[in-house]
Structure 1
Amino acid sequence: MTTTLGTASAGPGEIDTGRLEVGETRDGSPFGLPVAVINGEQPGRTLYMQAVSDGDELNGVGVLQRVVPQLDPTTLSGTILIVGIVNYHAFQIAEHRNPIDDTKMNRAYPGTETGTSSERIAAATFDIATQADLILDLHQGSTSRMLDEVRVRCGKRHRLHDDCLELAKAFGCGYVLDQKGPDGQLARAAPDDGIPTIDPELGGCVGWDETSIQKGVEGVFNVLAYYDFIDGTTELERQTRANGFEQYGSPNGGLVSFEKDLGEQVASGDVLFEITTPFGEPKATVTADSDGILWRTRRLPQVATGEYVCSVGTDIDSY
């Protein structure tokens, strides 16, 4: 059976790329999102993947750039649907939010066909995503420094929580944030339609990072093997899970010096960072409120009063 996505159309054992038209630019020209269809020779599940929901998060498209050329549809079971760049306008200017409506795309799902620019893109991609059996929404921690991790955002009481957690474990980054996400996230909205969905957060950088991209490539192939899209096996290994998240801002303006490294365990009362003047004069020392793991930090050393500095994953366990 031929599968079509935008202008991409592939029969069994075929692959095709094209564009999905979702609107017009300010000069009235149509624009489309890059899409791909990999239609397996044999029947099976359908996987949907997307990247660059936030315009400066490029590691996801780096993953797709490396995964797609390695896929052979003649040996694939099932179908893979891909939107390579979701936030078209933000990607063009390397900004996080859609500049047309100043919206963070991953707060617009499931979208509205007659809504704002972001809502229309969300509606178009959600319509594709909800045709699948599994969803991978590839992200990164924006331009901050962050662990390679996977987020389960449906909430522990959701009927698909265990399925989403299994998908996260199959992806296999080693770290999982299992915490209900904000309204409007694809990983919140799609499980309500019965589709296990995860949000791999592949590090954080300016541009892209090869180490995190490779982690994402391995994760995608882990999922493909575990759910029988390709031959092979994926052993589900125990993951370090954070069930909560604490963010820390700066009490003063100045320069940040971290006392802990990413991934390092912290205990309540441990020093996380210090703020100094440009001459090294101490201004503030910030300590951890809870036990946990240093999960994410700002990239630039300079901060203003109240500005974000770092996050600690809390309520840690292994599953």
Structure 2
Amino acid sequence: MTTLGTASAAPGELDTGRMEVGETRDGAPFGLPVAVVNGAESGPTLYVQAASDGDELNGVGVLQRVVPQIDPAELAGTIYLVGIVNYHAYQVAQHRNPIDDRKMNRTYPGDESGTSSERIAAATFEIARDADLILDLHQGSTSRMIDEVRVRCGRRHRLHDECLRLARVFGAGHILDQKGPDGQLARVGPDEGVPTVDPELGGCVGWDESSIRTGVEGVFNVLRYYGFLDGEATIEPQTRADDFAQYSAPAGGLVAFARDLGETVEAGDELFTVTTPFGEPKATVHAESDGIVWRTRRLPQVATGEYVCSVGTEVDTV
């Protein structure tokens, strides 16, 4: 039997349950929703988690669609899934854990005696560190973003090439290949010898069907490529960026973009204008270098100096 919390599955079976990680403010125990898919044949182990930021819902949508489609009788290996990592933030549709005001994806590998977020991180990482591959499903909850996969270990890391391969196999179309902040699962996993990537499935708060479909296709491509499922994996060229130029508003008002997400720009191309509420132009901002529009703010209103967009630079194809 393979177990995760109260989920327990014999070879060729799938089970769901809860993994208890603490108590709420009224003293009642709470648990994260978990699933185990135990393949009929032996094979590698995959760990997948979603919603470590409580308002990033597209990853939850991916698992909602992926799990019912997996036939454990056709699977080789084991898949461990945690459907909602940041339990407290998810309940109130917030990014950060309201119990300790921490961002979950800055707390790995966690601390089983620490804050609420650190305890959850420790419990989930105990599972993840024993896997052969890790997928940490995210979403740009505060900005509009392209679908991308983030390789966060840094290019000098001994597992960089394996992480980059996993990102290419997931196949969201774009790869951010840049060393991430301390405490990210995609940083800590490779340090433990586990190739780990952070798919960022679209942007803005909500539930985006297109990005969810990208995530579902990515998970199944990983399962085929690494031998969990029979079938051919499709690996298409990916656009990679490892640096970004950020642009802020030179004046307050309303932003109107001249380029959409994913569009290429050349140095000197118009990126956006700022107008008054009556459409009177106040400022126009142009690209300072060639690149791809990678991320933009969600709401049009800006104050002077406020973030507006990012252009991916140092772009190549992998």
Same-fold call, TM cutoff 0.5: yes
Q: How would you bin the TM-score normalised by the shorter chain? A: over 0.9
State the match for 2:102 in structure 1: 103
Identity of aligned residues (%): 76
Poorly superposed stretches of 4+, deviation over 2 Å:
none
One-letter amino acid of the counterpart of residue 109, structure 2: P
Aligned counterparts of 2:112 and 2:57: Cα–Cα separation in 1: 26
- Displacement of 1:173 in angstroms is 1.1
State the match for 2:9 in structure 1: 10
SS at match of 1:44: strand
Aligned counterparts of 2:312 and 2:28: Cα–Cα separation in 1: 45
Aligned counterparts of 2:98 and 2:300: Cα–Cα separation in 1: 27
One-letter amino acid of the counterpart of residue 249, structure 2: S
State the match for 2:56 in structure 1: 57
Aligned counterparts of 2:157 and 2:250: Cα–Cα separation in 1: 37
**Quick check: 1:22 aligned with 2:24?**
no
SS at match of 1:241: strand
Aligned counterparts of 2:215 and 2:124: Cα–Cα separation in 1: 21
| Deviations 1:163-184, CA, capped at 9 Å, x for gaps | 0000011111111111111111
Contact 1:57 1:143 in 2 (8 A): no
- Aligned length in residues: 318
One-letter amino acid of the counterpart of residue 9, structure 2: A
Return the TM-score normalized by structure 2: 0.98
**Quick check: 1:47 aligned with 2:28?**
no
State the match for 2:138 in structure 1: 139
One-letter amino acid of the counterpart of residue 318, structure 1: T
State the match for 2:190 in structure 1: 191
- Displacement of 1:306 in angstroms is 2.2
One-letter amino acid of the counterpart of residue 85, structure 2: V
Aligned counterparts of 1:252 and 1:116: Cα–Cα separation in 2: 41
SS at match of 2:245: strand
RMSD after superposition: 0.9
SS at match of 1:91: helix
Q: How does 1:265-280 map to 2 (within 5 A)?
A: 265-280=264-279
- Displacement of 1:270 in angstroms is 1.7
Aligned counterparts of 1:92 and 1:304: Cα–Cα separation in 2: 31
One-letter amino acid of the counterpart of residue 133, structure 2: L
Return the TM-score normalized by structure 1: 0.98
**Quick check: 1:212 aligned with 2:215?**
no
Moved more, 245-254 or 19-28: 245-254
- Displacement of 1:236 in angstroms is 2.1
Aligned counterparts of 1:42 and 1:117: Cα–Cα separation in 2: 37
State the match for 1:74 in structure 2: 73
Contact 1:56 1:143 in 2 (8 A): no
State the match for 1:290 in structure 2: 289
- Displacement of 1:279 in angstroms is 1.4
One-letter amino acid of the counterpart of residue 186, structure 2: A
Moved more, 167-176 or 275-284: 275-284
Moved more, 85-94 or 228-237: 228-237
| Deviations 1:197-254, CA, capped at 9 Å, x for gaps | 0000111133201111001000000000000100101132211111112222222221
- Unpaired segments of 5 or more residues in structure 1? none
- Unpaired segments of 5 or more residues in structure 2? none
State the match for 2:309 in structure 1: 310
One-letter amino acid of the counterpart of residue 194, structure 1: G
Aligned counterparts of 2:72 and 2:102: Cα–Cα separation in 1: 36
